Amino acid sequence: MSQDKLLVPPPLKNDCFALPAGTLWTPVSDALETLKGRLHTCVEQEVVPVTTSLGRILAADVSAVRAHPPQPNSAVDGYGLRHADLLTGAQTLPLVEGRSAAGAPFEGIVPPNHAVRILTGATIPDGIDAVILQEDVTTDGHSIAFHGPLKRGANTRQSGEDVHADETILRKGRKLTPADLGLMAATGIGSVEVYKPLRVAVVSTGDELAEAGADARADQIYDANRPMLLAMVAQFGFEPIDMGRAPDDREALRGYLDEAAIRADVILTSGGASSGDEDHMSALLNETQAMSTWRLALKPGRPLALGVWEGKPVFGLPGNPVAALVCTLIFAKPAMSALAGQGWRLPEPLKVPAAFSKNKKAGRREYLRAKLVEGRVVVFKSEGSGRISGLSWAEGLVELPDEALDVQEGSLVDYYPFSAFGL
Ligand code: AMP
Ligand code: MG
């Protein structure tokens, strides 16, 4: 009997994000909370020289081996004085033989009522308690004349005034910056314990995909996601592993995932994440029942298939390049940071006046391709999620909250420069 039932078309919807009746859409913040609760460091540790540790993630707190500066030294080129606070009014003092220079300290004792030539960075000789700037004295090479007094300690740097010996200078989970390398070197550290880089496999899926630069049939499109995602992974400081393109064939894709799970700590795929006939990623991940296919209340986003394949987390990103990039920044990046040992970190938005207006409806979070122009944030001319040129044009994303929002020109909106995500 049911075969005889007439097919009835669904009510027409002009909005491709309209919620199918009865479908639960997961708010972005719920999805992030779930990920945060499930992911922790999965990489091993190793010891590397400070000189090659840029961008690595500390696996342990780092303490100063010695104080910085290690000894009192001069902050200026000038002359070292004894009891400088007692030298009131016009003074003339003889200079001792020799001088104190950086790396070549004055070895003798400066007698009372004498001064000593001293250069920037030089150890302060015993008995000297202040340095007068060379610009503030006159000298004939044998004596100096100046006006006192000087405060004790003037123009000197005290031992340990910057960092004490044994002080914790950098915390576990920190991604090392050039300045951190300088700080570690200055405080006597030669090598550090860091996490091994997170290995991230990137797979594209789709029978329509052709390799960049290759001949392509008119009905093919070039695989844009793989070069983009591999480059993002590298910029995040992780180790990209190029797994190539998988066809829309469930068994073949299974093979790609098996191989990726052997070679990587986490797997990023793009395409096939919806519930269409050729959406094999979500089908395979659903098989494992480890996680779920989320219908995220996110634009651009649509389904993000999350799973665990042979023990390795898998992010089944949308095929659409704009959605793939946004989902990578919003979901995969914080998740990968947690796996890599950095802990769960979300970027802080800047509050910037809008150079656009937009009436946003309630129900989903939206990200717009954006950039700053003269202190205001402009958005790409089209919200079309297939427009990869807008990604390249953009320097960041505007985030519009789940709730309805009427953005007027000049309203403050949340703007994340790409650099906030580590790009
Ligand atoms: P899918 O999620 O597989 O249905 O793909 C959604 C859209 O993104 C389709 O138009 C695909 O052709 C496109 N797409 C999927 N993968 C890629 C890719 N690697 N590079 C560029 N576009 C893609
Ligand atoms: Mg596809």
Q: What is the pLDDT of residues 245-292, one digit of tens each?
A: 999 999 999 999 999 999 999 999 999 988 888 889 888 888 876 656
Residue 144 tokens read as: 């100096």
Q: pTM higher than 0.95 for the full model?
A: no
Tokens of 126: 């015993």
For the chain, how many residues are written?
423
Determine the Cα–Cα distance for residues 381 and 217; give it in Å rounded to an integer.
30
* Rounded distance from Cα 345 to ligand 2 centre (Å): 31
Q: Is residue 80 within 8 Å of residue 74, measured between CB atoms?
A: yes
Centroid of ligand 1 to alpha carbon of 389 (angstroms): 15
For residue 18, the model assigns a pLDDT of 37
- The answer to whether 384 and 318 have CB atoms below 8 angstroms apart is no
Rounded Cα gap, residues 81 and 115, in angstroms: 5
> For residue 172, how far is its CA from the centre of ligand 2 (angstroms)?
40
Query: Could you report the per-residue pLDDT of 362-380, keeping only the tens digit for each?
Result: 989 999 999 999 999 999 9
How many Å separate Cα 188 from the centre of its chain? Answer: 26
Residue 247 Cα to ligand 2 middle (Å): 9
Closest residue by Cα to residue 240 from 232, 255, 230: 230
Q: Determine the angle formed by the axes of helices 250-263 and 280-288, rounding to 10 degrees.
A: 60
What are 58-117's pLDDT values in tens digits? 999 999 999 999 999 999 999 999 999 999 999 999 999 999 999 999 999 999 999 999
Ligand 1 atom 3: residue of nearest CA: 271
Closest CA to 229 of 337, 368, 299, 325: 325
CA-closest residue to ligand 1 atom 23: 319
Mean of pLDDT over the chain: 92
- Classify residue 70 by its DSSP letter: S
Average pLDDT over residues 7-24: 49
Alpha carbon distance 305, 284 (integer Å): 10
> Within a 10 A sphere around the Cβ of 62, how many other Cβ atoms?
22
Give the residue from 366, 223, 393, 231 showing the smallest Cα distance to 299: 366
Name the residue of 209, 275, 277, 391 to mutate for ligand 1: max ligand atoms within 8 A of Cβ.
Answer: 209
| Distance from the alpha carbon of residue 206 to the mean position of ligand 2, in angstroms | 4
Q: Residue 53 to residues 49, 50, 174: CA-CA distances in angstroms?
A: 6, 5, 11
Of ligand 1's listed atoms, the one at least distance from the Cα of 276 is 4
Ligand 1 interacting residues, C-beta cut-off 6 A: 204, 206, 208-209, 221, 223-226, 270-274, 318-321
Q: What is the pLDDT of residues 138-190, one digit of tens each?
A: 999 999 999 999 999 999 999 999 999 999 999 999 999 999 999 999 999 99
Closest Cα to residue 159, out of 74, 66, 70, 75?
Answer: 70
Question: Quick check: 224 pLDDT over 60?
Answer: yes
Ligand lying nearest the CA atom of residue 300: 1
**Ligand nearest to the backbone CA of 270:** 1
Q: Which ligand has the nearest atom to the CA of 206?
A: 2
* Distance separating alpha carbons of residues 255 and 260, to the nearest angstrom: 9
Element (H, E) at 184: helix 178-186
What are the tokens at 61? 């707190």
Is residue 12's pLDDT more than 80? no
CA of 368 to the centre of ligand 2 (A): 24
Dist CA 277 CA 206 (whole Å) = 12
Q: Which ligand is nearest to the CA of 221?
A: 1
Q: What tokens were used for 230?
A: 């591999």
Is the pLDDT at 21 greater than 70? The verdict is no
Name the residue of 270, 296, 385 whose CB sits within 8 Å of the most ligand 1 atoms, as the mutation to test its pocket: 270
Task: Output b/e per residue, 219-250; b: 16+ Cβ within 10 A.
Answer: eeeebbbbebbbebbeebbbbbbebebbebee
Q: Give the tokens for residue 91.
A: 């003074």
Distance (angstroms) between ligand 2 centre and the Cα of 93 equals 85
